Structure 1
Amino acid sequence: MKLTLSSLLLLMLTGVATSVIAVEILQWQRLPLAVPLHVGQERIIFVDQNVRVGIPRLLKDKLRIQSTGGTLYLRANEVIEPTRLQLQNVTTGELILIDIAATVANDSAKLEPVRIVRAGSENPDKPSGDTAAEPPAKPRQTPIPVVLTRYAAQSLYSPLRAVEQLEGVSQVRVNHALNLEGLLPALPVSATTIGAWQLEDFWVTAVQLRNQSSVDLQLDPRELQGDFIAATFQHQQLGKQGKAEDTTVLYLVTRGHGLAQSIMPNQSRIDASSNLPDARETAHEK
């Protein structure tokens, strides 16, 4: 069978048209977005932001979530009642709430991908990296060490929805085995890094302190050994070992580098009495 040029063009155009995948656009207006799922089918969500997902424990075995480059892949393994997920921008801390519910599909039709855009966006297809029309950033009214310490404390102690947005902040990988014995050499405490964040050229590192003695301890930043821009204790006192109050968090702000480069070399404690003359030798000389 011979095909004319017009027939070939028609077939080519038809093939292109049928290969285009429709995408559902959802605008984030601080109201939860409904994203239905079908059991056994994967649904893709384009967020155009680097986000982390807050998942309720009850969905651990019911929902598979994979995330890469601002794209989420959701696959329900069984029926899921309406449940809320929290998507948090790792740079700004902004939250996006989506309500999912998984049902058994009556037919083989697949759900189309979803793209989430900010409310008021005139052109959803415009790349998120195009910032030519964005207004210049406003100067910060609060010093960076202050806002960075506050953000770290909220990230550790506050629910995800209560963490204030902080543009430009990023979480930094920490070495949990970092030797911090020289941090507070005068106090019987153990110190372990539990988290770190960076904003511009400032770093804040959260260090967990635990009392290793049977007495209460007062915490004084003047006893810290190291090169720090700022230091803040979550609590000013540690209860004796074994009490609920025997643990707190210390926030250390450094500039130009992380905590490892700001810690003083560990020095062994010196027993001053070891340098005193022996009493028997003194008596013999007399």
Structure 2
Amino acid sequence: MCYSAQIEADYKKFVREFGAVVDLEVFTQLWLRDNNKTRRPKTPRALDLSFLRPGDSSVAAIAAEIREWDNEEVAQLETKLTKQSERLATAEQKLATKPTKTAANEQRIAGNKIEQIKRRIADLKRANLEARDSRMFPGYYCPVLVSEGGKLVVKPMRYQCRPAGKPATYDERYPGTYNARRDNLEGFWKGEFGHTHGLLLVDTFYENVEGEDGKNRVVQFTPRNGELMLVACLWSHWTDPKGKEPDLLSFAAITDEPEPEVAAAGHDRTIINIKPEHLDAWLNPDPGNLQALYDVFDDKRHPFYEHKIAA
């Protein structure tokens, strides 16, 4: 499974590369602070920053919402920082008078939390982009390219698909629905396969691999030729039949048998990286001709995926 990836999170990249239009209404709804939203949506920081660049009045409303979330989160973090600083001071005072394992453990935990909080605050305040800002995980909202009425459109979607018609509890019952196996597309994913297809732009992806010592390690896979991966996805538009929860756009990346070098590195699946010439066929599927979609998979790109242990 592809549990994480470093993606192209700048919506303008989709506009430049594919001539796509951005669904600003859906992006606005993603960050909109209303009575039904109490928690900030998880997004790669690079996506936030792409809307915070000055000079684009068309996204001013979105930028304002993101800044409000930033300000609120910084305030909450500063409160936590004060509490952890007090916790650290108490632990250090105890260690100075009567050293104990409990006090030493409190000192360590408080110190680690303080560093984590400071890093997050710094991330929320900086404007420059770093590579790690483009990292996404299950539950994150990412820009996905779809086709609507013959036009390419960019929409924000959650990386964990909740199929239409399923209850909201589906997320907890089936937490692995951020990936869709090729050999189960006409089974579990029959409602999406041949109907709602998308594309995710990926630079590099990460997998959990068990090492020789039996411990988990995170391995990073990157195309040797440096080309951007066009990852085939399925997506769904979920609506609450009771009308209590907001609509949800969500997607899953399709995985296939592993490329030889990925298998050699210890992982058993690889996301499907389609060729640019198959873009139209993939995004505008014919549900009556599923074989044509499998043909797209069979003619996928095979860049050599170099790997290394992720930091």
**TM-score bucket (shorter structure):** under 0.3
Query: TM-score, with normalisation over the residues of structure 2?
Result: 0.21
Structure with the greater alpha carbon radius of gyration: 1
Higher relative contact order (CA 8 A, sep 6+): 2
Q: Which has the higher helix share?
A: 2
Q: Which has the higher strand share?
A: 1
Query: TM-score, with normalisation over the residues of structure 1?
Result: 0.23
